[in-house]
Structure 1
């Protein structure tokens, strides 16, 4: 069977035997990259990365970069240019198709009709080329034991223009290969390149982000771990935003209750109630806090809560007080104040967010940010988030967002 998620129905093609076509070897498949899974403790966190030495060194250098627009240090990895990675398997297809025996292998591999090329900066993610149709896609690889849970939400959520659908699933003996549309960068990369967005541009993109979250909340999904990197562009012009995937979301068993206790998330986007350890908490309201962090970062070019000392960072988040630059319009300030509220019950819901006047009418252009606000001072945004000192972090998890 072949899975093509054009609607809520799912079809899957199993390729337990692929004839002479070669599949990715199990040693090629790495755990899905995500932020550290956190468990409450009173000890200081010791951060450990499990990447290869070169990648680890690059991330340690990137951790020192504060401003999103800063050029990475020499030797650090950077995302491939739009369309570049996904075309690589095509040029390699003329020769033999090797099966990679190491995750450092850069040659293409084959699974069913797809040629796969690992993306250097995203473990377990491959650029994919369908040799039957010529489609360029992105493939994420899961262990067979977890992939059904990872795609469960797609069976409950109706299609939405701002949620990336699953296009195909190919099942091997030990791995499931989930294919999605080709991406053209993400919001984090856009803000990093622009340093910050003007309000008109941010409004156009953030409206799509809010629409995706509202659609998920309305149909009983709590997203969790919301951040700029989770929203990708579906077009080369980078005007159409989509939620990258639903693999980290939680399907609510009781639509009337969104109480969750999971502490999975990126520190820069985590809400005060998650840090307090007072579980359970409202998953939807935690999502709304993360949306506030996203909008602030888009408009200002730095996270609302940042400090070189991790303990001080989380103290600021727990207090829930951040400074809004004078250059922002009154509507933007009002919206941010309505999302970044310490008390979850005082935050806007996703539906209320979309009804905010900042979205509904044209506003006068904001005044330029002050030099201090634009530079970010001590609260500049880094390419890597800080680790949470009040939680224990599993050694084999990626600490960076």
Structure 2
């Protein structure tokens, strides 16, 4: 956004400064409001890249979520705008780093400090729940800390709004980060977004106090089995009050798990508790709030003079699924590997996947523990031509009635891989692919499965 003359770029009332971060879909810049001098962070996303990766629906969900929220413990969206080439999000600048970094630097936090941060975390999360927003990916990396040591919840890319509830009033998208995911989320039977967020808050509290994860294993199957059982040790050197709270939060049966109201009434939680109040304009109509901020037009740098403004509500519109965090990662792993859970018997899973792939023109080879899907994308039947597309499929058992299906692209066209996954998921009756790719399904951010200890199901 730097002009050809060397001056800093302008974005309406903002002067853009140094780049804070950069990734595949755009960059984050520090910005100063020219009127007040206040500092902000501006996410500048490249529309062409966003649309080519089919994540524009994800942007809508992030904005639709953030525009509802105005709380001291939640990162705030101040303004949004879009041009023909860019999407801009003016966000609160939080420059104290991630909670993860604070824990990593100290090993663990004193109980008094952990309690204060946990109180702020619960204040922010419970406020979101009151607004009908369920985060679904709470972890120390998604909790920022400002220079004053106050928590700011961020990265609402996996969040759910009231319109995402099923007819049973429950959520059904399996998503989140493996070590923080609640057991009921893995079971494909629907779950209460509030109770699953509470579980994740409990994992964060455990890490702050103890310095390591309550549920961890290199093998994804073993990890999920530990989560299902609530298999963790709560150190006896912790105070009795927090031991009690942790046990009640990390209760694998959601019907027996402590509620948000009960957490706020817990004796340990109430010590030195000062509730955080929402901002004054919290009750403003959100659309009027956004419209107010679109009074100023955006001034692009000279090289982008032809920018054409679009209506903000074209951008917000319908919310479906979103993960902004992926815009700033080195690589979007969901483009080469996905995992999802299924209750179909293993034999049915292999048969259905083979039928789906065969009908799309893939050659299916059944091995001892996996399916190999190949296709010559050059359209030639010459056997001397190398196979130009290869996907491996494996199924792992979590419990007698729950399985993990893993699709891994070894090489080939990402668009064709996506079509294959869409077809398989459609035939299996699981999530829509925009949800799977947009929500980073369970365990996508694990580097790999430990094949030595995990027992895949035999495909033959």
Aligned-partner SS, 2:74 = coil
TM-score for both structures, normalised by structure 2 = 0.53
- Residue equivalent to 1:128: 30
- Residue equivalent to 1:260: 171
Q: Which whole-Å CA distance do the structure 2 matches of 1:233 and 1:125 have between them?
A: 21
Aligned-partner SS, 1:177 = strand
Contact 2:80 2:90 in 1 (8 A): yes
Contact 1:165 1:181 in 2 (8 A): yes
Corresponding position: 1:187 with 2:99: yes
Q: Which whole-Å CA distance do the structure 2 matches of 1:340 and 1:349 have between them?
A: 11
- Residue equivalent to 1:197: 109
Contact 2:17 2:32 in 1 (8 A): no
RMSD: 3.2
Q: Which entry has the higher C-alpha Rg, 1 or 2?
A: 2
Q: Which whole-Å CA distance do the structure 2 matches of 1:315 and 1:346 have between them?
A: 19
CA shift for structure 1 position 96 = 2.1
Q: Call closer, same or farther: CA 1:161–1:119 in 2, change over 3 Å.
A: closer
- Residue equivalent to 1:229: 141
- Residue equivalent to 2:74: 163
Structure 1 gaps, min length 5: 1-21, 24-92, 98-107, 363-386
- Residue equivalent to 1:60: none
CA shift for structure 1 position 279 = 2.6
Contact 1:222 1:258 in 2 (8 A): no
- Residue equivalent to 1:348: 258
CA shift for structure 1 position 114 = 3.7
Q: Which whole-Å CA distance do the structure 2 matches of 1:331 and 1:338 have between them?
A: 11
Q: Which whole-Å CA distance do the structure 1 matches of 2:169 and 2:125 have between them?
A: 14
CA shift for structure 1 position 320 = 1.4
Contact 1:258 1:284 in 2 (8 A): no
Give the 5 Å matches for 1:188-337.
188-234=100-146, 236-238=147-149, 240-253=150-163, 258-275=169-186, 277-337=187-247
Aligned-partner SS, 2:43 = strand
Q: Call closer, same or farther: CA 1:199–1:263 in 2, change over 3 Å.
A: same
Q: Which digits, 9 at most, give the CA deviation of each residue in 1:50-102, with x for residues without a partner?
A: xxxxxxxxxxxxxxxxxxxxxxxxxxxxxxxxxxxxxxxxxxx99726xxxxx
Corresponding position: 1:140 with 2:43: yes
- Residue equivalent to 1:61: none
Aligned-partner SS, 1:260 = coil
Q: Call closer, same or farther: CA 1:154–1:292 in 2, change over 3 Å.
A: same
Contact 1:230 1:243 in 2 (8 A): yes
TM-score for both structures, normalised by structure 1 = 0.61
Aligned-partner SS, 1:176 = strand
Match of 2:406 among 392, 395, 398: 392
Aligned-partner SS, 1:226 = coil
Higher RCO, 1 vs 2 (CA within 8 Å, ≥6 residues apart): 1
Match of 1:153 among 41, 44, 65: 65
What count of residue pairs does the alignment treat as equivalent?
Answer: 274
- Residue equivalent to 1:82: none
